[in-house]
């Protein structure tokens, strides 16, 4: 690795994602999830008509943003493209990964399909490796109920170490509790303790070797363990994005 830190400017970072903050203290919320889990339905239920649609800068992927006020705060919510993972094998995955990783949303809401929650947990666990500021929204609870699927929300929340909110977005059920959880996390009224994946010993040993060096370069600009894992995996797209968003040439 050629470690030549050019500069680590974060200036204009929000501009790179076309975020339209009206006040500096507005909170930015990302909405992620597998395709067809009801993200846009949740987005519509939260924002009503206060929406704006464009494209992600330089991409042909739709970028929908909306706003809502809850209690005394204003929230800007960004509806990310549906993805099964953040391993950046498609433009949608790159957009979602870059926004969660470099756009630094205050909270990322991961929308899960209550009828096939195991499959959806894959993406959630990947998001938790990037940020702990996550609320899980278990949507389609009505469908789960009609299929006689029962989900122990409390146990799931305890296991994941984050708030978990059951919703039926199409009928506007659970939206206020979702807003409360987002608010509480943004305003530090609650703290998460996100589940950490333990990798096999040889991988953990490799990580121990490279994380101190990465930490000295990036400090808290990016989750170091996750970055190290992606580098071990040879994720060139992430190296490109580090150049683009953190102005740093990893020179690999």
Which residue is at the shortest CB distance from ligand GTP? 82
Binding-site string for Mg ion from residue 116 to residue 145, where x marks contact by CB under 5 A and - marks none: ------------------------------
Q: Which DSSP category does 170 fall into?
A: G
Interface residue with Mg ion, options 18, 40, 51, 211 (CB under 5 A): 40
Give least dist CB 111 to Mg ion, A.
9
Give least dist CB 177 to Mg ion, A.
21
Binding site for ligand GTP (CB under 6 A): 33, 35-41, 82, 139-140, 142-143, 168-170
**Residue 29 forms beta bridges with which residues?**
77, 107
Give least dist CB 40 to Mg ion, A.
3
Q: 143 or 235, CB closer to ligand GTP?
A: 143
Q: Which does 223 bind (CB under 5 to 8 A by kind): ligand GTP, Mg ion, none?
A: none
Give the DSSP H/E element, type plus range, for residue 55.
Answer: strand 51-55
Structure tokens at 108: 């990322």
Q: Which does 35 bind (CB under 5 to 8 A by kind): Mg ion, ligand GTP, none?
A: ligand GTP
- In the numeric block, the tokens 């970028």 are attached to 63
Give least dist CB 210 to ligand GTP, A.
35
Tell me how far apart the alpha carbons of residues 39 and 46 are, in angstroms, rounded to a whole number: 11
Q: 53 or 196, CB closer to ligand GTP?
A: 53
Q: Which DSSP category does 132 fall into?
A: S
Binding-site string for Mg ion from residue 171 to residue 190, where x marks contact by CB under 5 A and - marks none: --------------------
- Cα 12–183–83 angle (5° rounding)? 65
Structure tokens at 91: 């433009």
Give least dist CB 114 to ligand GTP, A.
8
* Residue 127 near residue 86 (C-beta atoms within 8 A): yes
Tell me how far apart the alpha carbons of residues 230 and 237 are, in angstroms, rounded to a whole number: 10
Give least dist CB 39 to Mg ion, A.
5
H-assigned helices in the chain: 13-16, 39-47, 91-102, 117-130, 141-146, 153-160, 175-186, 201-218, 224-232, 236-246
Residues that bind Mg ion (CB under 5 A): 39-40
């Amino acid at each position: 690795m050629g470690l030549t830190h050019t500069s680590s400017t974060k200036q204009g970072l929000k501009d790179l994602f076309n975020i339209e903050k009206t006040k500096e203290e507005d909170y930015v919320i990302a909405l992620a999830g597998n395709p067809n889990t009801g993200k846009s339905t949740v987005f519509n239920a939260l924002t009503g008509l206060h929406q704006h649609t464009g494209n992600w800068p330089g991409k042909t992927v739709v970028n929908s943003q909306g706003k809502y006020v809850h209690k005394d705060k204003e929230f800007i919510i960004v509806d990310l493209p549906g993805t099964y993972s953040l391993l950046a094998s498609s433009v949608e995955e790159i957009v979602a990964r870059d926004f969660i990783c470099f756009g630094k949303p205050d909270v990322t809401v991961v929308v899960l399909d209550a009828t096939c929650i195991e499959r959806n947990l894959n993406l959630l666990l990947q998001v938790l490796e990037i940020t702990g500021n996550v609320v899980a929204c278990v949507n389609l609870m009505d469908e789960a109920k009609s299929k006689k699927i029962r989900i122990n929300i409390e146990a799931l929340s305890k296991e994941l170490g984050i708030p978990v909110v059951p919703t039926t977005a199409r009928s506007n059920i659970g939206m206020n509790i979702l807003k409360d959880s987002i608010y509480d996390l943004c305003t530090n009224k609650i703290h998460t303790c996100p589940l950490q994946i333990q990798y096999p010993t040889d991988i953990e040993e490799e990580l121990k070797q490279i994380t101190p060096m990465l930490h000295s370069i990036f400090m808290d600009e990016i989750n170091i363990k996750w970055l190290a894992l992606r580098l071990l995996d040879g994720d060139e797209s992430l190296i490109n994005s580090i150049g683009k968003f953190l102005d740093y040439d990893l020179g690999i």
